[in-house]
Structure 1
Amino acid sequence: MRRRLSAARRDPLSGLWTRAAFERRAARALVRGPHAVVVMDLDGFKQLNDTFGHAAGDEAIRAIAACLTTALAELDGSVAARLGGDEFAAVVPAPDPVALPWLLRTLHDAVCTPFSYRGQTLTVGASIGACLTAELPAVSLSLALRRADEAMYTVKRSGGGWRLADGPTLTHTTTLGRRTGRQGTTGREAAA
């Protein structure tokens, strides 16, 4: 029965937790100390589906999930999920915030690694946003997801990469129903 319940709480394509299961586990994790909340959206996913078909898109989702699982495997207490479509999220213990840019860069590089599909080498890009819960006025998964989402959409508009939200303030504005971003550190800026 436990195996069936666990399987029902996992996304059948990626093997990652579903949104509801992720939210429960992530909320429990956040009360145990400082964490980074990470939101990731794939870049070029629609084009990949349109060019190579949905089976190639499914293979990309499986490959990304495997990269995410591998990247977070050694970080005890991490929780990762496929939120839907080509959107993923994770909650990662962050006792040392100085290490977070390294983790985001590593995660971005891993996700953007080419994968094989029917003898072809394919790639997708990624836009990743993260928020440190220690910088928030209160421990709140929804607030942390919002801040990470803002950071992710800012880096997405600049062509992909990663970005760490810079502080607790929200922009409170939206673009097409999505939050707009703010100034902060992006992977492209960090490399410059």
Structure 2
Amino acid sequence: MAGPTNASRADVLRVLGVLKFVTTDQIQLISLPHLNHRHADKPTAAKRKAARTATPTAALADMRRHRLAANGGSTGAGETLRHRTLKGLEGAATELQRPLSEMGATARGAGVGGATSMTVNETVVALLRSKPDMAKLATDPPELRAAAQAVVKTPPGVGRIGSHWTRAPLPVAGSWSTPGKGGAQADRPCPDRTPGRHPAAVH
């Protein structure tokens, strides 16, 4: 992988590593929020969305060629869901600095139904409240920078994408890394990354 998509690979892997399967729109909202402002002048919502998501879409295309990501399932609105492959799972573990044993499965086909999982994703997006990077807007028009700065000044969210877990096991038997039968899975923020400590689930 080379060129502009190479710089986005780590961002995409971190999102896929946490959310398991995701839309390009969600990747952009989490990792590249400055693009919300840069493409606000496009004439239609569809064109604004296409421009906003062009970078993660290109990165995912390269990642599919390198067998790091794949397409699988769709949302109720017909958006393609992207998920990590086994090779992508290993890459996401490296980017998130998590043991591979804590990364879960590749989640292939898990997003076919879509609705419940998209609700989880949207909750994580809302918790993160990702702020635009003003350095990436340094050469943009003053009015665009002013709109982005107004977002920067809003209250912060909860952690970064690497501060969250989805489909995390809550074992009633076994251990965190090798849970026994009968446990549940939860989605949760993880503000404490101290090894061996796991926060309570978010319900």
Query: So what's the TM-score if we normalise by structure 2?
Result: 0.36
Structure with larger Rg: 2
> Structure 1 or 2: larger strand share?
1
